[in-house]
Amino acid sequence: MSADTKEKTVNGSGTERHLNMIEAINEALDIKLREDPDVIVMGEDVGYFGGVFRATAGLQEKHGKTRVFDTPISECGIIGVAVGMGAYGLRPVPEIQFADYIYPGLDQLISEAARLRYRSAGDYISPMTVRSPFGGGIFGGQTHSQSPEAIFTHVSGLKTVIPSTPYDAKGLLISCIEDNDPVIFFEPKRIYNGPFSGYYDKPVEPWKRFDESIVPEGHYKIPLGKARHVTQGEELTVLTYGTMVHVAEAVCREKGVEADILDLRTLVPLDIEAIEESVKKTGKCLIVHEATRTSGFGAELSALVTERCFYHLEAPVERVTGFDTPYPHSLEWAYFPGPVRIGEAIDKMMAG
- Give the CATH number for residue 128: 3.40.50.970
160 located within any domain: yes
Is 163 found in the same domain as 31?
yes
Phi, psi at 325, each rounded to 5° = -140, 160
Is 108 found in the same domain as 171?
yes
Is 320 found in the same domain as 257?
yes
Domain boundary among 191, 218, 235: 191
Q: What is the mean pLDDT of residues 121-146?
A: 91
CATH number at residue 310: 3.40.50.920
pLDDT in tens, 274-286: 999 999 999 999 9
**Residue 224 pLDDT level (bands cut at 50, 70, 90):** very high
The pLDDT value given to residue 8? 44
The pLDDT value given to residue 145? 87
Percent of the chain with pLDDT over 70: 90
The pLDDT value given to residue 202? 59
Is 172 found in the same domain as 98?
yes
Least confident of 205-219, 254-268, 320-334: 205-219
Do the beta carbons of residue 269 and residue 217 sit within 8 Å?
A: no
The pLDDT value given to residue 3? 35
pLDDT in tens, 257-278: 999 999 999 999 999 999 999 9
**Residue 214 pLDDT level (bands cut at 50, 70, 90):** confident
Cα distance between residue 201 and residue 266, in whole Å: 31
The pLDDT value given to residue 17? 83
**Average pLDDT of the chain, as a whole number:** 91
Q: What is the pTM of this model?
A: 0.93
DSSP H or E run through 210 = none
The pLDDT value given to residue 200? 54
Overall number of domains in the chain: 2
pLDDT in tens, 6-26: 444 333 334 568 899 999 999
The pLDDT value given to residue 232? 96
Is 186 found in the same domain as 55?
yes
Cα distance between residue 324 and residue 326, in whole Å: 7
Compare 336 and 11 and report the one with higher pLDDT: 336
Compare 49 and 197 and report the one with higher pLDDT: 49
Residues taking part in catalysis? 144
Alpha helices per DSSP H over the chain: 21-35, 59-63, 75-87, 106-107, 116-119, 149-153, 166-178, 244-255, 272-282, 297-309, 332-335, 339-350
The pLDDT value given to residue 327? 82
Residue 64 in this model has a pLDDT that exceeds 70: yes
210 located within any domain: no
CA distances from 143 to 70, 100, 166, 327, 349 (A): 22, 6, 26, 8, 35
Interstrand relation of 14-18 and 6-10 (parallel, antiparallel or unpaired) = antiparallel
Is 234 found in the same domain as 183?
no
Is 140 found in the same domain as 50?
yes
198 located within any domain: no
Domain boundary among 145, 164, 191: 191
Q: Which domain holds residue 273?
A: 226-350
Is 231 found in the same domain as 183?
no
